[in-house]
Structure 1
Amino acid sequence: MNNLIWLLRASKWARNPPSARMVRLVLAIVALAIAIVVLEKMGWWPDWAKMEQGRAPRPPR
């Protein structure tokens, strides 16, 4: 059933594609996210921007 939803969404985009400005905005956001991940993995992310303590896992029910 989920495939039908994606097919309907794709047909909607084919009839009314997003503008070039929207595509550039989405690509810029994705590039920024990838850059942040790469900087953090290389150890170049500043210490003030890191979390001191992560969120505790939920106990099982």
Structure 2
Amino acid sequence: MDPYTRLLFLMARWWRNPPSRRALIAMGVALAVCILLVTVERTVGWPDWLRTERVPMRRLPAP
């Protein structure tokens, strides 16, 4: 299903049955944390100790 159609269905369901206040606060906090992480990453950069290095996959021997 198209993501925009799915979002439209979600918005219609929320219009008929709005989420509770606690759910709205939880969604708002999650959104704020995401925006904060993106802002820190864009302005300061990501710390070296949080970066991952690609590890080559080890091939298993054939039986």
TM-score normalised by the shorter chain: which range applies?
0.5 to 0.7
Give the residue type in structure 1 aligned to 2:20: S
TM-score by length of 1: 0.57
Which structure has the larger Rg?
2
Using CA pairs under 8 Å that are at least 6 residues apart, name the structure with larger relative contact order, 1 or 2: 1
Are residues 1:39 and 2:28 paired? no
Structure 2, gaps ≥5 residues long: 55-63
Q: Which runs of 4+ in 1 moved over 6 A?
A: none
Identity fraction in percent: 32
- Give 1:30 shift: 0.7
Give the residue type in structure 2 aligned to 1:23: L
Question: 3-state SS of the aligned residue for 2:32?
Answer: helix
CA RMSD of aligned residues (A): 2.4
Structure 1, gaps ≥5 residues long: 54-61
